[in-house]
Every structure is written in structure tokens, then in C-alpha cells.
Amino acid sequence: MNPNAQQFISIMSNSLKSRLFMFTKLPAAYFSGVKVKQFTTQKAVVTVPFKWFSQNPFRSTYFACLAMAAEMSTGLIAMMQIYKRTPAVSMLVVKLEANYFKKATGLTSFTCNAGKDFEQIVDACIEDGEARSYTAKSIGTNSDGEIVAEFLITWSFKAKK
């Protein structure tokens, strides 16, 4: 487990700090209204609203905005595991798959529960210096709990020398 994980969780769970991070590093997510709703060592929940900036011509949330929130729900957990690690570890999305089941016409919440898996992958990467990848699942649900979309996001990790 990354000894700095709680520090990263604290930063990203703070509304002001996470919004500032998004404004400076992920402006498309910031302007789309993406927000961190819940973040622990095991789970991240990220929301994206249906609003003018995130809409498509079909009166639902644009697929790219849904993908941003899904990626962030997995990426937060991954970033938590590499935050201030020695040696440093790089991470990169190498594949994205999506399945859509229902129109996203309100607030969509994306949940990823892969904390333990990300911990094991990054620890192993640091231990032996070998690059690794991991495919995380993020499930998007609407306010009624219905599944709107499912994303499979493959992350690649490599310890820097």
C-alpha cells in the first residue's frame, strides 16, 4: 500500500482542491461538471451531470463526458497508488471499451471498486521494475440506480529508473 495514499485521498476528497486540480489539469472535466463524490482506498465514485456543456444533440450526456467521468473513477485509484512513490511510476490509458445501455439524461455516477487490484499491480511493478497493465471496470448509474454505461479502461504502469 502506498504510504501516501491517505494524503492523496484527502486532497482529491476536498471539493475546492479537486475542482482546482480539474481546472488546471483537466479543464474539459471541470467545465463538464465532473465531480469526485466518494473516494477511499478501495472505491471511487465520480459524477457527471447532464447540462448544456455536457449535452449531445439527442438530449442526453455526450459519450465523451461519460468517458471522462468513468476514466476518472479508475484513474483516481491508480493515481493514489503512484502518488509520491519511490521509484516514481508512470501511468497511461492504453485502451478503452464502452457499452451503453440507457440514455444519460440526469446525473450519472461512475463507480470503480478496484482499489486492491491497483495496489497489487503498482506494488509488483515497483518491486521488479517490469511494466504491467490492468483493466478496471467503471459502472455508470443514474439516480434510479439503473445502469447507463459500463467502461473497461486499461491502464499501463511502469516504474521509472
Cell 497493465 maps to which residue?
Answer: 133
Q: In 3D, which of 112, 116, 103, 107 has the Cα closest to residue 152?
A: 112
**The C-alpha cell of 69 is what?**
467521468
In CATH, what number is assigned to the domain containing residue 146?
3.10.129.10
Provide the pairing of β-strand 147-159 with 132-141: antiparallel
Total domain count, the chain = 1
3-state secondary structure of 18: helix
Domain containing residue 63:
5-159
pLDDT digit of tens for each residue in the chain (161 aa)? 888 999 999 999 999 999 999 999 999 999 999 999 999 999 999 999 999 999 999 999 999 999 999 999 999 999 999 999 999 999 999 999 999 999 999 999 999 999 999 999 999 999 999 999 999 999 999 999 999 999 999 999 999 98
Q: pTM for this one?
A: 0.94
